[in-house]
């Protein structure tokens, strides 16, 4: 999520997208401070209990190359 930085907030980046002039022949934009954040949005079809018990299955990419005795 991209939002405007609060006054005095550290870690802000700057985008030159704040319109100063809308004139087509000399459109100008000023810098504005923005902050990028991550937002978690829960999926309605996934239960919280299932998410805590889910495991990634083990995978050995070289298992198919091993010779059997």
Cβ atoms within 10 Å, residue 32: 14
Q: What is the pTM of this model?
A: 0.51
Instruction: Provide the residue ranges of all domains of the chain, joining segments of one domain with +.
Output: 2-56
pLDDT value at position 57? 80
**Per-residue pLDDT reduced to its tens digit, 9-66:** 999 999 999 999 999 899 999 999 999 999 888 877 776 655 566 677 888 888 888 7
Q: Name the pLDDT band for 69 (thresholds 50, 70, 90).
A: low
pLDDT value at position 31? 94
Q: Which helix (H) or strand (E) holds 48?
A: helix 48-53
The three-state secondary structure class of 28 is: strand
Q: String of b and e for 33-68 (b: at least 16 CB within 10 Å)?
A: beeeeeeeeeeeeeeeeeeeeeeeeeeeeeeeeeee
pLDDT value at position 6? 93
């Amino acid at each position: 999520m991209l939002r405007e930085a609060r006054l005095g907030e550290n870690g802000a980046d700057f985008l030159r997208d704040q319109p100063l002039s809308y004139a087509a022949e000399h459109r100008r934009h000023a810098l504005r401070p923005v902050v990028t954040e991550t937002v978690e949005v829960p999926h309605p079809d996934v239960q919280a209990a299932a998410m805590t018990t889910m495991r990634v299955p083990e995978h050995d990419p070289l298992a198919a190359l091993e010779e059997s005795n």
